[in-house]
Amino acid sequence: MELTITEKILRDHCNNKKVRAGDFILANVDKCLANDITAPIAIEVFEQIIEGTEKEIFDRNSIILTPDHFTPNKDVASAKQCEILRNFAYKYRIPNYFEVGRGGIEHCLIPEQGLVQPGDLFIGADSHTCTYGALGAFSTGVGSTDLGVAMALGKGWFKIPESIKFIYSGNLNEWVSGKDLILYTIGDIGVDGATYQAMEFTGEVIRNLSMDNRLTICNMVVEAGAKNGIIAPDKITLDYMKDRVNSNYKVYESDKNADYIEVIEIDCKDIEPQVALPPSPGNSKPISEIDNMRVKIDQSIIGSCTNGRMEDLRIAATILKSQKIHPKVRCIVIPGTQHIYLQALKEGLIEIFIDAGAIVSTPTCGPCLGGHMGILSEGEKAISTTNRNFTGRMGHPGSEVYLSNPAIAAASAIKGYITSPKFM
């Protein structure tokens, strides 16, 4: 039987070796992730399950806890959320608890720390847990209740998703990145175009992409409704893993004649940098069209779990070097982890950002979900490298968020309206 990479991973994590897409399974989970928003509910469920028993966490080394959404704490309520997380980590001696100042944004931090590897079944109480499919893992977001159960039992229920295969060919144009490929793809298939399906990314363009770009692509598959995104491991993947993991792992790839519900071929030669207009990541347009609209902005965000990695910061710094942020624009740069922050400091990028008139924040999800560190007022507009631009996502319901890659966000911060370095 010819199988996709997603089917193979899920089959090997359950007791039935004949299952395939469409079947329901009880699967063994390798890793469980929660943050300061989602962990308290998962912890409550976990404690209900083990109450009156001698059970503890199924494997404390498999639990990852990251306070990153409202951190550093913005108010008493967020401080309480983090306290619950912290006390649980101390009580059960969780080694992979990342306190503020020692970690970062979860979906940048976990690959960096080698806490996910090819072939893993990884779940997280955060919708963008799908990021780790870039490393050849089956990785998906779940509800806090499901996570609490998995923390106690090490298992979870899944329906094996059918797969859509995306084949990207040709050459990328200047300033086009993984962010543009996924925005273009979501714009093509729609925000419900892959509902509860696996988006498998292949082709010569994908094979030549850096790991940072691959992580960006898989990060946003949930915006098309997908259960997971996945890229088969190759030399780039294995080189990335080399200094990060010590354990053995299994590399999976799809069979040549695997069954896909659809195969979509995309020629990249005509793809420009993309901008997703509010209120949907699927409302993507080429930058040449947006540049003509002269959309004035009040704020530019460069960072998040989508585009807060080293490659993203280097691109932004290349554009901002010896330039000045527009006097009517606030530019906020958020490195994805403390390690990335430190590396950016060593490379002189932080100085470039500050000289340009930007503010550099400690790692946080903050503005992406309208939490803090960049809330928009009524009528304000932002260009952002984050992953969602729903109504009210970054603050007031009367504000607007436009999604882009770091190059567009940096160029727009300089000009005061949404544009590309190509047009500067």
Q: In which residue ranges of the chain is CATH 3.30.499.10 found? A: 5-265, 274-423
**Helix, coil or strand: residue 266:** strand
Q: Check residue 55 and give its pLDDT.
A: 86
Confirm if 329 and 300 have CB atoms less than 8 A apart. Answer: yes
Confirm if 159 and 168 have CB atoms less than 8 A apart. Answer: no
What architecture is the 5-265 domain classified under in CATH?
A: 2-Layer Sandwich (3.30)
Strands 162-169, 197-202: pairing kind: parallel
* pTM metric for this prediction: 0.97
Q: Quick one: tokens of 411? A: 């160029």
Mean per-residue pLDDT pooled into runs of 10, the chain (424 residues)? 96 96 98 98 97 92 97 95 97 97 97 98 98 98 98 97 98 97 98 98 98 98 98 97 89 97 97 98 97 97 98 98 98 98 98 98 96 96 98 98 98 98 91
Class of domain 274-423: alpha beta
Kind and range of the H or E element at 401?
strand 400-403
Ramachandran category for residue 354: left, alpha or beta (phi over 0 → left; psi -120 to 50 → alpha)? alpha
Nearest of 78, 113, 120 to residue 98 by alpha carbon = 113
**Residue 54 buriedness (CB in 10 A; 0-12 / 13-18 / 19+):** exposed
Kind and range of the H or E element at 353?
helix 349-356
CA distance 394 to 374: 8
Q: Check residue 161 and give its pLDDT.
A: 98
Strands 138-141, 121-124: pairing kind: parallel
- 3-state SS, one letter per residue, for 202-254: ECHHHHCCCHHHHHHHHHCHHHHCCCEEECCCCHHHHHHHHCCCCCCCCCCCC
CA distance 79 to 67: 10
Confirm if 412 and 388 have CB atoms less than 8 A apart. Answer: no
Q: What are phi and psi of 198, to 5 degrees?
A: -90, 130
CA 176 → CA 87, 180, 188, distances in Å? 44, 6, 17
